[in-house]
Structure 1
């Protein structure tokens, strides 16, 4: 402290910035101190001295025992302007009060440096980040916006940065070991440091590149401060790296291209305007004779002749390379090269290369050796000629046709005869129809959709196609033919010709038509007979019913027995006639289906209960099972009734007493399943395929004891098919059979009156009596 200064410091210090502190709290602030730090008086008084030191960002940290005015401190006002001060602490008269006097030092020096900083910033690039730091502590004194942006990307407010050590801040955001070496080097050598293309990964993951220059500012060979400049060169570096990458790719592609050209199966040559070879790959050695003697374009003419496809010799002026250098583009030009040792066939391509002035600089030539292909085609041509000689002697009409135009090339003898018969005007001169469209002589249009599908199929699969039942008028008579188109492929696997084969199927068609007429006549006769049977049966049945109703008291028991047998026989014959009529209708396509929405569970239970009396007469137990109480589906109830009655009739007929029959309704996915399962005699495996055939019966002792025609299950399957369902059979001989019928689960939209569910009792009773008329086994 000062010597014996117990009151306010002497008058010469009165106007210095000071604060009076008691018990660590600031009690009074001088106006000059307020001017020094540029804060309001209210912001200072009442705060602790430590809080004020922190507010003005004093550096280095204040040691209360070393405030004798010798040590310099950096402080920052509210506008972040830096000041260099010394601090003297004196005790006042009042006990416990101290005065802290702040004496600004080197004000001119600081102003000079900051002015220097402003000039650097003014004359520098707008993208340059510049900062002014103290030395050797590297405390940030001042910086422009770009510096904050580059170096402190994660910090948004500069008041958080002024007065802090750059070392701590940079190492928090950048590679600490790298920057530690820089600080160490500057402190050790006192020289500047330049970092080129420093690679920095930003917080968002992007990569940035900076040039960083740290320049010490010396005064009398002593470093007083440092200027740090940062320039973002990311765009320049990325562009350079992209150019380097592209150059690397181009070099790699060039190397790959050279390797490809060298090993490619085609011969490649590059010729300049002076007719010098710039490039010849290895493959071309196989094309040129005495390759080692060839130095310039045209040297091969010494011992080799060149011909075009027509056999004309090719002069040097018309060589491919010369033509290309004149600006032509050559594609697939056939050259026949006659060397002293052999003949080579070459398909040649050529293209000019232009310089930057648009003038032809080079010619790129490609030579493809097709000798093997030409030889193969010659062999194939010879074989085809032999083949055509063979087919000319065949009895089948065969016509050679071009593809894709379908123009006649040639035809064999039998085809010529055929054409003469269907096109009389060509009787004298068949050559008139050559080069004409073959299909114009047949009543089909290959451009129509139906025929065109066949043509497309042949083009796609390269397989023969057949157009069936083509009607042709031959000598005023209708005949039928199948036309077969057999594609002929070239060495490349492409269709180049078609062989059309004409097969006369008139005899087969006439036979089928005769059989169809016979079957139709048979059906008509069958229908007529069954109708004729049904009429007297109906009369007999009506007469029997009248006798039972009107004369029952007058008839003896014996007579009643005869009437019962007559009635049963009538029902049996009526059952047979009805079944036959339904089969005839099905064969003729007249089996009609009338669907309505019905509760299939209720209907099935109703039908099952209606036949229980027949099961009881044979001492057979019949059980109805359903996994749901109600299920509405669209169905023809009359057809369904006939199906179920037939299955139940068979089950009762072929099941022995004391056994069981099960009727089960269940829902399976989008179907309703009806199962009729019995414990009867079963069906042998080798007979299970015929039970659904017409008149298919199982020959065993029990089946022989019960009457049957063998058409019941056939008709059942017809009905199931008509309802859009399917039927399955599982049977074990001696154990019983299970018939499963799967019907589609859906409903239809109908009017209220039509949608009403009704069961016709009279029809069901009649159908039960008819279906069960042949069950009288003892």
Structure 2
């Protein structure tokens, strides 16, 4: 019985010993793992970029990681690192003046008050190096609110702060620039159309648009709310186009009443602002005051109108006596040819020539005035354009021969019936030939080509004369313009002829182009659309009229 009890106790002891050993092994394993985790945690804390410092319950230095030494440029690890930092650096609050960092921290630690993201500027007293830090502290307490230790974290935000300051400087610069620009400017978010930026001139401009003398809140307001009672929706349509299409749009001229109740005109531009992904996030608006330009244009328009009316009236008044003089001269030659001696004939010829020149000028002024007023009506006839062109070229050949100029006519067809205004076609061709002979030196040639390509009719007049400078080509169709070269100034003319030619060609549905090189010559090309060769049976047919000789005589009266 005793032996059995002893055996049982021995077995219990062995079991307890085995269990105890197993638990000791587990504890040892857990201690090893804990040690590894502590080492890992210590490595992490030591190597993170954020500075970490721990103070004990008496606010005595207990621990700090490497980042603290790096942030504050402390080379040697010192036991009193916190005191060293306070002693070495000047701490400035970015908002509060007369900020005492040491007292502020001392008060926070003593009262277990947490500090959250205190941004400060620190300056090294020795090197004057400036940095910006984000300082935080948190007291860890037990269940009785007794402080066990305090954790302090420090972040070096120098680069971030400098970037913020740069952005702020740029923003202020742009704001000052926008505010001081003389033209109204604004930026709207899209698609909300909330006004994000607006200068004083833009605010005044909006008041004029709204015709409201009261102060209007523009910044951070929505465009639709401001303009809800404005009937003119042109600006709203411009914003919609700019936002949806993504292209620049201009409203010009846009008329408003200023503070003196006078009309002012603006050219308003809308520019889409796109992000990198291509989405439109905003619309820039700026308005240019073009009142002076508009008023100047209106004044010029009135002057031009008065001038045109003057020329028209004078031309009408001159035409009748000129026609009488011209008719009287013709009558004298026809009835009293034997009584006209050589000297009288020479005098009468000069009178006739200058009378024809004046009649040509008067006719041109009247025709171009009618064209610009829209009073010219086309009198379309059916005729052979090849025969008419050849007849005109042949009829003026003696004018070319008088200057020793070869005048050549070339055509791709021997006959082509067309339906167009014959009289205006004659005036166009005569004017071009008159210019060609006038500005082509002796011994050169002029080529007149009539061709038919893809059903269209092409008339070309090419000379080998003085040519036109490149910078003058765009002005030769302006009224009263003439190329200012020594040779052209010796030729008679006002420059009104080419302006009339262009007007007549466009009225007849055609186009005119010119190519020219100085001292090489010029080429005028007129294209009439193919619909003119579709003969209309209801139109009357015509032949070359007898009055063509009078037209030639008048048109070439300034060829000497």
TM-score (norm: length of structure 2): 0.59
Conserved 8 A contact 1:675-1:741: yes
Match of 1:513 among 289, 294, 298: 298
Q: Residue 642 of structure 1: CA displacement?
A: 1.5
Q: Residue 492 of structure 1: CA displacement?
A: 5.9
- For 2:282 and 2:223, the matched residues in 1 are separated by 15
Q: Which has the higher helix share?
A: 2
After superposition, give the CA deviation of every residue in 1:564-623 in whole Å (9 maximum; x if it has no partner): 322222111111222233333444454544444432212212222322444455665544
- For 2:187 and 2:471, the matched residues in 1 are separated by 53
For residues 61-210 of structure 1, what are the structure 2 equivalents within 5 Å? none
Match of 2:233 among 422, 445, 470: 445
- The 3-state SS of whatever aligns with 2:256 is strand
Match of 1:600 among 382, 385, 406: 385
The answer for unaligned runs of 5 or more in structure 1 is: 1-288, 291-337, 343-375
Match for residue 673 of structure 1? 458
Match of 2:251 among 455, 461, 467: 467
Conserved 8 A contact 2:505-2:512: yes
- For 2:168 and 2:506, the matched residues in 1 are separated by 57
Match for residue 93 of structure 1? none
- Compared CA separation, residues 620 and 751, structure 1 to 2 (3 A): closer
Conserved 8 A contact 2:419-2:535: no
After superposition, give the CA deviation of every residue in 1:721-744 in whole Å (9 maximum; x if it has no partner): 4441223345673x7655443333
For residues 185-334 of structure 1, what are the structure 2 equivalents within 5 Å? none
- The 3-state SS of whatever aligns with 1:558 is helix
The answer for unaligned runs of 5 or more in structure 2 is: 1-43, 46-116, 118-133, 135-162
- Compared CA separation, residues 593 and 459, structure 1 to 2 (3 A): same
Match for residue 545 of structure 2? 761
Please say if 1:638 is aligned against 2:423: yes
- Compared CA separation, residues 597 and 446, structure 1 to 2 (3 A): same
Q: Which has the larger radius of gyration?
A: 1
Match for residue 536 of structure 1? 321
Conserved 8 A contact 1:634-1:745: no
Q: Residue 767 of structure 1: CA displacement?
A: 0.7
- The CA RMSD over aligned residues, in Å, is 4.4
Q: Residue 698 of structure 1: CA displacement?
A: 6.0
Conserved 8 A contact 1:484-1:502: yes
Match for residue 726 of structure 1? 512
TM-score (norm: length of structure 1): 0.44
- Compared CA separation, residues 496 and 757, structure 1 to 2 (3 A): same
Match for residue 565 of structure 1? 350
For residues 378-777 of structure 1, what are the structure 2 equivalents within 5 Å? 387-388=174-175, 391-408=178-195, 411-421=198-208, 423=210, 427=214, 430=217, 434-435=221-222, 437=224, 438-440=226-228, 444-445=232-233, 451-452=237-238, 455-461=240-246, 465-475=249-259, 476-487=261-272, 494-615=279-400, 622-653=407-438, 661-678=446-463, 681-683=465-467, 689=473, 692=477, 694-697=480-483, 699-700=485-486, 707-723=492-508, 724-730=510-516, 733=519, 738-747=523-532, 752-754=537-539, 756-775=540-559, 777=560
After superposition, give the CA deviation of every residue in 1:729-764 in whole Å (9 maximum; x if it has no partner): 45673x76554433333337675342x331352331
- The 3-state SS of whatever aligns with 2:547 is helix
After superposition, give the CA deviation of every residue in 1:169-207 in whole Å (9 maximum; x if it has no partner): xxxxxxxxxxxxxxxxxxxxxxxxxxxxxxxxxxxxxxx
Conserved 8 A contact 1:726-1:743: no
Q: Residue 768 of structure 1: CA displacement?
A: 0.8
- Compared CA separation, residues 464 and 572, structure 1 to 2 (3 A): closer
Match for residue 79 of structure 1? none
- For 2:164 and 2:240, the matched residues in 1 are separated by 26
- The 3-state SS of whatever aligns with 2:286 is strand
Q: Residue 517 of structure 1: CA displacement?
A: 1.6
The structure with higher relative contact order (CA 8 Å, sep 6+) is: 2
- For 1:685 and 1:471, the matched residues in 2 are separated by 40
Report the number of matched residues. 402
